[in-house]
Amino acid sequence: QITLKESGPTLVKPTQTLTLTCTFSGFSRSTSGVGVGWIRQPPGKALEWLALIYWDDDKRYRPSLKSRLTITKDTSKHQVVLTMTNMDPEDTATYYCAHRRSDRSWNYWGQGTLVTVSS
């Protein structure tokens, strides 16, 4: 069974860098087109895809946030890490990590972690 769990700070100050870790289990080998990504949801608003890392280490970022995002993985630790620089109150959201299948659907999600950006 595939599980994912997010961890990281619940509160960050404006201009700080956010680092979130996704620890996963239940999958290690993978086929082409499969990866782990991050999706966020501001309170009361819609889902927004942020970044994706494939098993071969290829990476994709949301164009409007690309300059602020970095996604990496440590397969031996079963972890995917997302960093977002220059945090702003508008980045306040629940951040989810999720498993993406080759058909581009997100079939397993973590429980999410609420990050508040405030001084």
Partner 1 sequence: QSVLTQPPSVSGAPGQRVTISCTGSSSNIGAGYDVHWYQQLPGTAPKLLIYGNSNRPSGVPDRFSGSKSGTSASLAISGLQAEDEADYYCQSYDSSLSGSVFGGGTKLTVL
Q: Which residues bind partner 1 (CB under 8 A)?
A: 37, 39, 46-49, 52, 60-63, 96, 100-101, 103-107, 109-112
Q: For residues 29 and 99, what is the distance between their CA atoms, to the nearest angstrom?
A: 13
Nearer to partner 1, 11 or 47 (CB): 47
Nearer to partner 1, 42 or 89 (CB): 42
Nearer to partner 1, 61 or 91 (CB): 61
* Burial of 12: CB neighbours in 10 Å, binned 0-12, 13-18, 19+: buried
